[in-house]
Amino acid sequence: MIYLDHNATTALHPEVLKMMLPYLEAQYGNPAANHRFGRKARSAIEDAREQVALSVNAHPSQVIFTASGSEANNMIIQGIAKSSPNIHFGYSSIEHPCISRPIESLKSRGYSATKIPVNAAGEIQIKNLSAAELKKINFISCMAVNNETGVIQNLTEIVATAKDHNIQVHSDAVQALGKINVNFEDLGLDAMTISSHKIYGPQGIAALVMNKKIDLYPLIEGGGQERGLRSGTENLAAIVGFGKACERAHNNLVTYNDALKKIQLFLESELKKMGAIIFSEKVKRVANTTFFSIKGIDGVTLLTALDRLGYAIASGSACSSNNNEPSHVLLAMNIDEETAMSALRISLGIDTTLQNIKDFVAALKKETERLKQLTAMAA
């Protein structure tokens, strides 16, 4: 199998596994315990917290560990709502469902929210909101990099516009970490979500990075861990692995981008020769992500055919791949439903080679022609 779905999840890096193994094999201490075993566990967590904070230029005290990016996003949305019953949310029309669905659920319970549009290239257009709309909003969530198109959003503009109207800003940076420079302090964000399994760390661990200006009601109460904001015994081995993965991502950013950009350019050149539409082609995107459509070919059908040949790709977000609806991201970009239904996503990783992509393109051409012939026969 050739794995081309790294935006969904990445493989655990050997260096990360090496750091985790002692805590999987011979660690007994609960980090909350006061004996030697507990102190050792607590020390390992705080060391990892520093690694995570350093990778995004935050203070360690701002890092709250969670079990997933989805939990971190729900934590900030639900926690803000509980603390501020009169909150009015703003969120972009291309947010991941773990942002949009909690907000929509809150709307059904009487909370208010405003959806921020995007342009045809998938760039968030906060300046399209009127002064009256901005005046109502207290808290905005806008992703840093879109998980489907790979578009790098202009967070500097979003934050500046929000701050002019005294709006707090959260960004889901899960797809940004390890692909672009993510600087929590310089961006002026109030909160940010990052996740381990997108950067060759273990699954089941993520973080909400948050300044102390936000009044947040805990999503999980009980033991008082993570500053009382996320109770539950910490996943020690996973936290250690997350710290190492963040360190690697921070140190290898330039090398990662240089290698993948060359492969992405080749891939997209070949796709265009086949007549494919490459979404958001003309704007800034991360080097590993290509979202495309071949007219007249159902995306899920083509995905299944390629899977049988040994190529793992996606038809959009991994969290919504089991439904047969078109991408909400593409619909927000005013892409017609038929084109959206044929969309496929390739997301490269550190082990992806140019030969992998050459082989993939050959398989794609073959399967596309076969499916077109079948369609013609059926007609």
The pLDDT score that the predictor gives to residue 227 is 92
Q: Which CATH architecture has domain 14-251?
A: 3-Layer(aba) Sandwich (3.40)
The pLDDT score that the predictor gives to residue 323 is 61
- Give which of 116, 126, 180, 127 is closest to 151, Cα–Cα: 180
The pLDDT score that the predictor gives to residue 317 is 52
Which tokens hold the place of 290? 């290509």
* Beta strand 63-66 pairing with 343-347: unpaired
Sheet of 343-347: strand order equals 277-278, 289-293, 343-347
Give the Cα separation of 70 and 209 in Å (integer).
14
The pLDDT score that the predictor gives to residue 7 is 97
All structural domains of the chain with their residue ranges: 2-9+253-373, 14-251
The pLDDT score that the predictor gives to residue 315 is 87
- Give which of 302, 179, 315 is closest to 250, Cα–Cα: 179
Residue 110 CB neighbour total at 10 angstroms: 7
Report the Cα 322 to chain-centroid distance in Å. Answer: 18
> 2-9+253-373 belongs to which CATH class?
alpha beta
Give the Cα separation of 160 and 330 in Å (integer).
26
The parts of the chain modelled with pLDDT lower than 70 are 316-323, 378-379
The pLDDT score that the predictor gives to residue 255 is 85
Please give the positions annotated as active site: 319
Which tokens hold the place of 247? 């360190």
Contact present, 203 and 175 (Cβ < 8 Å): no
Element (H, E) at 79: helix 69-83
* 208 Cβ contact partners less than 8 Å away, ≥ 6 residues apart: 63, 64, 66, 72, 75, 76, 191, 192, 193
pTM: 0.95
Q: Which residue has the tokens 């030697």?
A: 36
Contact present, 116 and 142 (Cβ < 8 Å): yes
Contact present, 102 and 77 (Cβ < 8 Å): yes
